[in-house]
Amino acid sequence: MIGGRQPLRGRKLGDRRVRVERPHAAYFRWSGKGVMTAKASASRPTTGFGSALATVRHALLGRPLASGEEIGERLSKKKALAIFSSDAISSSAYATEEILRVLILGGAAALAFGLEVAIAIAILLIVVAISYRQVCLAYPTGGGSYSVSKRNFGRNVSLIAASALLIDYVMTVAVSTTSAVEQITSAIPGLHDQRVVIGVAAIALITIGNLRGLREAGNIFAIPTYLFLGSAFLMIAIGAFRIVVGGEGGTFPPEVVAQAAKIPEQVTALLLLRAFAAGAVALTGTEAIATGVPAFQPPESKNAATTLAAMAALLGILFIGITFLAVNFGITHLEFPEKQTVISQVARRVYGDGSIPFYLFQAFTALLLFLAANTSFNAFPRLLAILAGDSHMPRQFAFRGDRLAFSYGIIALAVVASLLIVAFNGETHLLIPLYAVGVFIDFTISQAGMIRHWLRERPAGWQRRLAINAFGCTLTAIVAVVVTYAKWPASAIVLVLIPSLVLLMLGIRRQYEGQATELHVREDIVFAGPNREQRAVVPVNGINRAVVQAVTFARTVAQDVRAVYVTEDAADAEAMRRRWEQQLPGVPLVIVESPYRAIVEPFIAYLDVLDETWPPDREAPVTIVVLPEYVAKRWWDRVLYNQTAKRLKAAIVGRDHTVIADVPYRRDH
Amino acid sequence: MSETHPPTFRRAVVALAGGPGDERIVRLVSELAKPSHGEVIAVHVVEIGWSLPLDADIAGRSEEIQSILDAAEGVAESSKMRLEAVLLQARDVGAALVDEATERAADLLVLSLPYRKRFGGDFAIGRTIPYVLKNAPCTVWVVREPIPEGEA
């Protein structure tokens, strides 16, 4: 092969051909005029350590996906229902318990009001779901309440919505995980002391699943959702049959009566309001579908709206059904002799204590709750990416990893949620008061945004749509106030966090805007070729191959080249000069004697002197500091070299009219 | 005996002409090669006139020529197939194709034929395809592009 062309003989005399080498083809592909697309091989690490790390990452997360493969990662309705709705559906596992925990303060008789409270919350769910269906249809780009409020109210209000959502997503992960662990410990009480470790380990597993990318996350988690739905509906059907047809009903067990007797309180409107506020946690996650509309297969909006309707129907039936069974079987939470969740007691009563269906149901419930945590792993990174795109969050959050997942957002969520679980000792009930406040603030802002949307756009049937969103807005605003009041003082933490996050995001935006203004180039300016003089200064430590290579390079970029040798030894300097003039004639060597043994500072001072001696009537030249750099073969050898060069670099960065050029000398080159 | 299975081959050479027919034949061959794990080699030959030396630096530097093979690679990849792309310079395209297929012991050579008419209205087949049909030692498929609307 000569010059990438290999001559070949043909079968017949005179038939010749030349095979032309295509060196670009290993790494790139021409994809348009003047446009090259990098192949996967171009993104592979080049160092041994990098390759080893990539191998581990690929084994754990799968092969990297190209951006063009994204459409294949879109979710079907069935998978999307599992991924986006598990948060909302799973709240049926603890929402009933939250109602009963409040009602028991009014004595055993007050528990009977549980069903009415659940029905009221289900009505609220219907209103919110109908309102959010309209968001899906009106805003196919996703972002949910952030997009809606940004469009209709501007930046500040949208950031309040975004902050509330971010808090909500983090809380979803923490609450769902701790609740899942509680389902496990309700079935196997011996694991209660390991609840924090189990919770954090579960978050780590979900994180890996999500870093693998959307479609595979759907495959991993879709089955448990449907298993839970099947077993929960079966439980409700059997239980309801036994209550309605068999006349089975419950008297409260002595433990419950004893628990209730300790803290008697009147069944007042306030108590019912507090129970309503506590149970409103069932609505968390309703907005996730509206945020994730772009993740659906086309037609995105329609599929998202259909999935949202299905989710609301399933959640409503489950929530009312489980509350109906709990109230009629006389069940509430138990702390002694061992902690028992309400849903686990209902399952025990229906399926039989210690039976296989009971353990299966507990397993499915726990899996669903873990999957609910997964909902936030889809929505939180997307919202962060949208915020990063708007310069309200660091831009890293908008970058996609090897598997097209927003890796930084996923990892950030996992870290914060794990810290919460550790801080609250894995107790769901302690975390719940922080939950739901942000959600209802968010619902309200979103609905208010939709009111403005309909008033501005006025499409066909806008009056009916406006009425729906106005009703939803009013209702959710009232509930936001009620929840904040009922959960005070814990809700105060959220009320402080939201403005703090808003300020943080505004600060980040200001920083990015400042940088953009600084770097802005007017479109009408035409830049001619370089017209400034250039000079090169090469700091040298003797005459060696690295120095010679750097000086040779310096001579290619500037006419005015000088070497600077900083030394403390005058005799050594003289010997150096003699050798320099002999071996590198034509390149002046400036010897800077440094009796105080410093190297970097005298060199910088020399650059300052050079600048000051430049004629003031001429434009200052660009000074190129050419640094000879020896590159050791192994990374652990590198610590032995170039330390002075690194200090020089640190001292020169940011100096006016000065650029640094590293000239690496590699062994074996 | 009735033939119910798609034809199989071990190694196919696909001749690329740089026209719209390239995508069609690369996709066709890739899909056929998939079940039998056949090998697909795409060859584009740049004809060099007698005024230039055969090894003149022409094809290697041309973005337009390289993109013909790159596009074929992309088509094969979309069919989950790997394709070897070969760029040749030759005095005669037909001879180069036959020689390359022979050297690589290909059992199939596929060419596309655009529907063109000579001056006077006769269907033009060119000189490459007749040469390949006459000289290629392996099976040869010629895939003619559809007749443009209005000419049929």
How would you write A332-398 as a 3-class SS string?
CCECCCCCECHHHHHHHHHHCCCCHHHHHHHHHHHHHHHHHHHHHHHHHHHHHHHHHHCCCCCHHHH
Same domain, yes or no: A174 and A265: yes
Same domain, yes or no: A503 and A538: no
Whole-angstrom distance, CA of residue A281 vs CA of residue A124: 12
Query: In the predicted model, is pLDDT for residue A49 greater than 60?
Result: yes
Look at the block and give the residue holding tokens 């662990």.
Answer: A181
CB atoms closer than 10 angstroms to residue B68: 21
Give the pLDDT score at A546. 92
Condensed to tens digits (0 to 9), the pLDDT of residues A586-600 reads: 899 988 888 777 888
Give the pLDDT score at B114. 85
Question: Which residues in A lie closer than 8 A to residue B73 (C-beta atoms)?
Answer: 25, 29
Q: Could B90 and A18 be called an inter-chain contact, meaning their C-beta atoms sit closer than 8 Å?
A: yes
> Could you tell me if A251 and A139 are in contact, meaning their C-beta atoms sit under 8 angstroms apart?
no
Whole-angstrom distance, CA of residue A31 vs CA of residue B63: 10
Tokens, residue A423: 């801080």
Same domain, yes or no: A559 and A477: no
Whole-number mean pLDDT of chain A?
Answer: 82
Distance from the A39 Cα atom to the nearest Cα atom in chain B, whole angstroms: 10
Condensed to tens digits (0 to 9), the pLDDT of residues B46-67 reads: 999 889 888 888 877 788 898 9
Tokens, residue A175: 């609450």
Does any domain span residue A39?
no
Question: Which residues in B lie closer than 8 A to residue A18 (C-beta atoms)?
Answer: 54-55, 88-90
Does any domain span residue A14?
no
Question: Which residues in B lie closer than 8 A to residue A71 (C-beta atoms)?
Answer: none
pLDDT band at A131 (very low <50, low <70, confident <90, very high): confident
A522: helix, coil or strand?
Answer: coil
Tokens, residue A98: 């939250």
Q: Could A18 and B89 be called an inter-chain contact, meaning their C-beta atoms sit closer than 8 Å?
A: yes
Same domain, yes or no: A365 and A455: yes
Whole-angstrom distance, CA of residue A624 vs CA of residue A612: 16
Domain count, chain A: 2
Condensed to tens digits (0 to 9), the pLDDT of residues A207-246 reads: 888 887 655 555 666 788 888 889 999 999 999 998 888 7
- CATH code where residue A625 lies: 3.40.50
DSSP string, A88-114: HHHGGGTHHHHHHHHHGGG-GGGGGGH
CB atoms closer than 10 angstroms to residue A634: 8
Condensed to tens digits (0 to 9), the pLDDT of residues A438-452 reads: 888 888 888 888 888
Same domain, yes or no: A412 and A547: no
Distance from the B48 Cα atom to the nearest Cα atom in chain A, whole angstroms: 10
Q: Show Cβ contacts of residue A639 under 8 Å, excluding neighbours closer than 6 positions.
A: none
- Which amino acid, A114? G
Does any domain span residue A496?
yes
Same domain, yes or no: A298 and A236: yes
Which value does ipTM take for this structure?
Answer: 0.90
Domains of chain B in sequence order: 11-144 (3.40.50.620)
Instruction: State mean pLDDT over A610-631.
Output: 87
Residue A26 sits at the chain B interface (C-beta within 8 Å): no
More confident residue, A322 or A287: A322
Beta bridge partners, A588, equal: none
**A69-78, A341-350, A533-542 — which is least confidently predicted?**
A69-78
Whole-angstrom distance, CA of residue A534 vs CA of residue A626: 12
* Chain B nearest-CA residue for A39: B74
CB atoms closer than 10 angstroms to residue A467: 12
**A120-124, A433-437, A470-474 — which is least confidently predicted?**
A433-437
Which element (helix H / strand E) includes A498? Answer: helix A490-519
> Could you tell me if A256 and A329 are in contact, meaning their C-beta atoms sit under 8 angstroms apart?
no
How many beta-carbon pairs below 8 A join chains A and B?
75
Q: Could B66 and A24 be called an inter-chain contact, meaning their C-beta atoms sit closer than 8 Å?
A: yes
Residue A217: closest CA among A97, A102, A320, A84? A84
pLDDT band at A2 (very low <50, low <70, confident <90, very high): very low
Give the pLDDT score at B62. 83
- Which amino acid, A115? L
Same domain, yes or no: A636 and A565: yes
Q: Could B85 and A25 be called an inter-chain contact, meaning their C-beta atoms sit closer than 8 Å?
A: yes
**Residue at a domain's end among A513, A548, A580:** A513
Same domain, yes or no: A354 and A281: yes
Condensed to tens digits (0 to 9), the pLDDT of residues A158-190 reads: 898 889 889 988 988 998 899 888 888 877 877
Does any domain span residue A522?
no
- CATH code where residue A193 lies: 1.20.1740.10
B85: helix, coil or strand?
Answer: strand
Same domain, yes or no: A405 and A486: yes
Q: In A91-193, which residue ranges form alpha helices assigned H by DSSP? A: 95-103, 114-138, 145-153, 155-187
> Could you tell me if A97 and A335 are in contact, meaning their C-beta atoms sit under 8 angstroms apart?
no
**Residue at a domain's end among A450, A481, A513:** A513
Q: Could B99 and A15 be called an inter-chain contact, meaning their C-beta atoms sit closer than 8 Å?
A: yes
Residue A143: closest CA among A154, A158, A130, A125? A158
Q: What range defines the domain where residue A245 resides?
A: 78-513
Condensed to tens digits (0 to 9), the pLDDT of residues B101-135 reads: 999 999 999 999 888 777 666 777 888 999 999 99
Condensed to tens digits (0 to 9), the pLDDT of residues A455-513 reads: 988 888 888 888 888 988 888 888 888 888 877 787 888 888 999 999 999 999 999 99
Q: Say what the pTM is.
A: 0.69
Query: In the predicted model, is pLDDT for residue A1 greater than 50?
Result: no
Q: Is A131 exposed, middle or buried (0-12, 13-18, 19+ CB in 10 A)?
A: buried
Give the pLDDT score at A221. 62
Which element (helix H / strand E) includes B42? Answer: strand B39-47
Q: Could B89 and A21 be called an inter-chain contact, meaning their C-beta atoms sit closer than 8 Å?
A: no
A622: helix, coil or strand?
Answer: strand
Tokens, residue A281: 């946690």
pLDDT band at A335 (very low <50, low <70, confident <90, very high): low
Does any domain span residue A59?
no
Give the CA distances from residue A66 to residues A72, A478, B68, in Å, rounded to whole numbers and listed in that order.
Answer: 11, 47, 21
Does any domain span residue A12?
no
> Could you tell me if B111 and B149 are in contact, meaning their C-beta atoms sit under 8 angstroms apart?
no
Tokens, residue A457: 């756009």
Q: Count CA atoms closer than 13 A to A578's CA, side-chain side.
A: 5
> Could you tell me if A638 and A625 are in contact, meaning their C-beta atoms sit under 8 angstroms apart?
no
CB atoms closer than 10 angstroms to residue A641: 14
Same domain, yes or no: A505 and A564: no
CB atoms closer than 10 angstroms to residue B11: 17
Tokens, residue A628: 């000879």
Q: Could B66 and A12 be called an inter-chain contact, meaning their C-beta atoms sit closer than 8 Å?
A: no
**Residue at a domain's end among A449, A483, A513:** A513
Question: Which residues in A lie closer than 8 A to residue B102 (C-beta atoms)?
Answer: 11
Condensed to tens digits (0 to 9), the pLDDT of residues A247-276 reads: 777 665 555 555 555 555 556 777 888 888
Distance from the A63 Cα atom to the nearest Cα atom in chain B, whole angstroms: 15
More confident residue, A658 or A594: A658
Q: Of A317-331, A390-404, A504-518, where does the model show the most confidence? A: A504-518
pLDDT band at B27 (very low <50, low <70, confident <90, very high): very high
Condensed to tens digits (0 to 9), the pLDDT of residues A76-113 reads: 787 788 777 777 888 888 888 888 888 877 776 777 78
Residue A448: closest CA among A145, A68, A142? A145
Same domain, yes or no: A552 and A495: no
Residue A465: closest CA among A150, A131, A125? A131
Give the pLDDT score at A36. 76
Same domain, yes or no: A495 and A429: yes
Q: Count CA atoms closer than 13 A to A499's CA, side-chain side.
A: 4
Give the pLDDT score at A413. 94
